[in-house]
A and B are shown apart, each in its own frame.
Chain A
Amino acid sequence: MKRSSMKKKKGLENVLFTIPAVILVCMVMYIPFVMSGYYSLTRWNGIAKQPVFIGLENFKTILSGSDSFLSAMWFTIRYTFFFVIVSNVAALALAVALTKRFRLANLYRGLFFIPYIMSMTIVGFIWKFIFTSGFKKFFEVTGWGFWNLSWLGNPSMAFWSVTIVGIWQSLGFYIVLYIAGLQAVPKDIIEAAYVDGASRRQTFFKVTVPLLGPSMTTCVFMSLTNGLKVFDIILALTKGGPGQSTYSATLSIYNEAFTRNNYGLGSAQAILYFVFVLVITQLTLKMMSRKEVAL
């Protein structure tokens, strides 16, 4: 008798102590998620009382390419591809250099991290100033045509400008993660490789890099999800232009709903975006963890 009442009390406590978290998560994540699923099947301008049910019409519109989502998705894929590759290669190289012993190493680590703690919107504005006023001045001083290119005005240049700024903002974060990874590689294994006659390069690529597996998985995964989410920087830097050349998937969802008041179509884009992100991140995670080397 006593035992079962004790069990009951424990069960009640389990509910009592976890229910606030459950309610909060449902309130901002699950309920809106289910609502998105429903609205994606409707036409709704946000003002009319009732959304009109139209079945899969929105998805047909998107997949036939008659709105901007597919091209925005394509931009997001290209952006993410370069963002992931360049961030990881550059961060690893700088992390290797920054783990060498010299007096200013700590200061430099801090310097590289500073853009990461700044708001991405502000970062976009700073670079807008640099791409316009700053580069103009550099051109006046040096006369090099490089500075005089239309960094934000030409579609293919704007792509690179946005990508460079995105990488610049978050590189410090990946550097810090790689430094932590490098410091966790046991010194005696490196020594052993040298003793066995391996060159520096061989040791780095054949011993250190494989042992960095977990850090690399983390960094690639994080840069992947962050790349796919790109929004603030683009809004501040180009607003998606010129001619939609830097129009990202997230910007497309935002504008479809809040500028054009097509809540139904926006929701359908949001659902497709969710499926895409889920598939890509899970596939990458599977691939990466299979490649990891255990010590």
Chain B
Amino acid sequence: MRRKTRQRLSHIILVVILTVIALLYIYPVALMFMNSVKPFGEVIATPVSLPKKPTFGNYLYVGEKIQYFRLLWNNVMITVIGIIGIVFFSSLAAYICDRRRTKYTKFIYTLLITPMLIPFQTIMITLLKAMNIIHLNNSRVGLGIQYWGFGIPMATFIFYNFMATIPRDLDEAATVDGATTWQTYRMVIFPLLKSVTVTVIVLDVMWIWNDFLLPLLMVNSNNKTKTLVLAAYTFVGQMNTQWQYAMVGMVMAVFPSILVFIFLQKYIVEGVVAGAVKG
């Protein structure tokens, strides 16, 4: 009996401590939201407390100034182009490499996944030059296409490992029924890859949406092609005394991700775990 009460007590203490840690942990994020709805004087005078009277005027000003919806559109466009290509080319290559074990496919598989070992910073200088030559820089579509190349190694690796769990009987049956290789991929294999496709999408959306260095090199020179994070980076740099506007810029940059996370928390966490364990 006494042991039970003691256990209960330690459980309550643990929960209380954890609550304090969690609140402190999220405080910097809350601080950003709080200061984004304060007028200038209040940010300076009371930077760490709740706003006295929230105003959303800052949002109107900044939204117009950085042309928020265009930035949002740029981000969506680059991310969607990137994801579609990565999923399509990787799953197709993984399918062939797993089902047709020849010297050629073995070599191709190694060739495709080895770049996981090359850090981006090693190639960024010459990448810019190479992309200049084939005119893939300074363009949103061009940037999306570059993400195909950068995303394929890991996605192929994840798809390939999952392919091994799909029974060969399924696609062999399709072949016997007269399906071509392409039809087998499209009607049988790709639908069965659904769960692992979700993993790949989650990982790559989180990466592409928030990526900084590659967009900085490729699409930063023109306001029309800038991404959300790039615009926020420039904007905050210009507003380093006007923190109330800087805060709005920051909120606007991270809010879409937070919103999506709140609704899809389960899938995102599962995807991240699955990707890390397989990757």
Contact = CB atoms under 8 A, between A and B. Distances in A.
Contact of B108 (A18, A109, A228, A263): A18
A294 interface: no
A120 B232 CA distance: 12
Contacts of B11: 100, 102
B248 to A, nearest CB: 12
A89 interface: no
Contacts of A113: 261, 265, 269
B126 A267 contact: yes
B125 A266 contact: yes
Contacts of A100: 11, 14-15
Interface size for chain A: under 10, 10 to 19, 20 to 34, or 35 or more residues? 35 or more
Interface string B107-135: 01001100101111111111101110010
Contacts of B213: 231-232, 254
Given A113-B269, A126-B250, A218-B276, A25 B112 contact: yes
**Which DSSP category, helix, strand, loop or mixed, fits chain A's interface?**
helix
A127 interface: yes
Interface of B: 11, 14-15, 17-19, 21-22, 25-26, 28-29, 31-32, 35, 43-44, 46-48, 85, 89-90, 92-93, 95-97, 100, 102, 104-105, 108, 111-112, 115, 117-127, 129-131, 134, 145-146, 148-150, 152-153, 156, 181, 185, 206, 210, 212-213, 217, 229, 232-233, 236, 243, 246-247, 250, 253-254, 257-258, 261-262, 265, 268-269, 272-273, 276-277
Interface string A167-187: 010000100110010000000
Contact of A232 (B212, B257, B268): B212
A205 B244 CA distance: 48
A180 to B, nearest CB: 5
Contacts of B47: 129, 133-134, 136-137
Given A14-B96, A39-B125, A119-B253, A97 B31 contact: no
A35 to B, nearest CB: 4
28 contacts: A13-B96, A14-B104, A14-B108, A17-B93, A24-B148, A27-B134, A29-B118, A100-B11, A100-B14, A108-B19, A111-B22, A114-B258, A119-B212, A122-B229, A125-B236, A129-B32, A130-B31, A133-B44, A134-B48, A176-B273, A180-B273, A214-B277, A225-B119, A229-B120, A254-B121, A267-B125, A270-B123, A273-B122
